[in-house]
Structure 1
């Protein structure tokens, strides 16, 4: 009986993690990465393959992008207002759209690892008239990359440490640190880009 209850609870935990991954496209504050890590640490209880969990996470992540992009395209004015409501979101969106012109793959993949980056990028693309096919193609790739990373992080630490709570703590700290480093690099690149644009070219007569 206790094993059946544990299996039921773990199954609902997996569902909650997948729903969080899907919904954090709309609500970036949802701790989807934390829930996925916790779900990964419960894999042994349900004899579930990490590969299957990774596929589920990737599909949920891509579905969130697809839904938000469709909402943004149908209500471009709403999407624009949402971007303008948050300080820095509009400038971040402009920077991402410019980066998509020359570094589409890297921009879409990196945005997945920056807190809120996925949401801003989806909304920004939704407010333009660009064909979404190429964006969605790389969105699928970035979803697979992030799913492999977050599930792999939890799986690796589960087999490194003896206790579940320590595996969970180390995995969450590592994920937070990696996201912070990537966000810092992105902010630095944005600052350098603004400084470059602010410098007026010197004309030699």
Structure 2
């Protein structure tokens, strides 16, 4: 119980970091990862358990998904308009929904690491009539994975470097690099899927329009 009081009473920054993680589902521009890294470094200075911080981050992350998903399901038209307003978001949503059919776990976890991917995925799932139980199950897993990753990154660098500012800088650069690599991989998979679909459509058109030999 004392650790809980330390976590939320030692500094306002812990609460701000958790709120940033929760609101990141609605506003992808919020630097939630950066704030969690800073909170991890602060936790070390106040002797707060990083595990407890990670649990809080995971809960906040999953709660944000749950809230956005429910809002999207109650206002599917609004969710679709929001996707249509963003360049490329509608196409990304369609790709994610298709990927969920064959690669559910990997798609949900990867979307958590891609900037804006979490919001697009939540909105996309909210516009469908499919029951969200299986999605929420893996959403909880991905929230725990991301929380362990981002808190662990700050904790590892804090114990590697002597100064807090260097630990913070290296952690942020590492998190940005990893997100960029995962985003590039997702974009490549999406491009390959689009090219395969185009090739299949061209093959079908060729078969349909091919002349029939008359004996």
Same fold (TM over 0.5): yes
Within a 5 Å distance, the mapping from 1:161-176 to structure 2 comes to 161-176=161-176
> 2: distance between equivalents of 1:87 and 1:38?
32
State whether structure 2 residue 26 is matched by structure 1 residue 26: yes
Asked if residue 69 in structure 1 is aligned to residue 73 in structure 2, the reply is: no
Q: Deviations over 1:47-103 (max 9, x none)?
A: 110100000000000000000000000100000000000010000000000000000
Counterpart of 1:40 in structure 2 is 40
Corresponding residue for residue 121 of structure 1: 121
Distance apart, 1:46 and its partner CA: 1.9
**2:60 aligned partner:** 60
Q: Could you say which residue in structure 1 is the equivalent of 2:184?
A: 184
Larger Rg: 2
Q: Residue by residue, what CA displacement relative to the aligned partner does 1:21-58 show, whole Å, maximum 9, x if unpaired?
A: 00000000000000000000011222110100000000
Q: TM-score, normalised by structure 1?
A: 0.94
SS in 2 for 1:115: coil
Give the conservation status (yes or no) of the 8 Å contact 1:10–1:42.
no
Q: Name the counterpart of 2:102.
A: 102
1:85 maps to 2:85: yes
Contact 2:61 2:143 in 1 (8 A): yes
Segments of structure 2 that go 5 or more residues without pairing to the other structure are 1-6
1:151 lines up with 2:151 in the alignment: yes
Secondary structure at the counterpart of residue 42 of structure 1: helix
Contact 2:161–2:167 under 8 Å retained in 1: yes
Cα shift readout 1:101-127 (whole Å, capped 9, x = no counterpart): 000000000000000000000000000
d(CA) in 2 for partners of 1:137, 1:81:
26
1:132 CA displacement: 0.6
Note the alpha carbon deviations across 1:133-156, whole angstroms, 9 max, x for none.
000000000000000000000000
TM-score (norm 2): 0.90
Preserved contact between residue 10 and residue 39 of structure 1 (Cα < 8 Å): no
Structure 1 gap segments, 5+ residues each: 1-6
Partner Cα distance (1:133, 1:190) in 2? 25
Cα RMSD of the aligned pairs, angstroms, is: 1.5
Matches within 5 A, 1:192-203: 192-199=192-199, 200-201=202-203, 203=207
Q: Distance in 1 between matches of 2:119 and 2:44?
A: 32
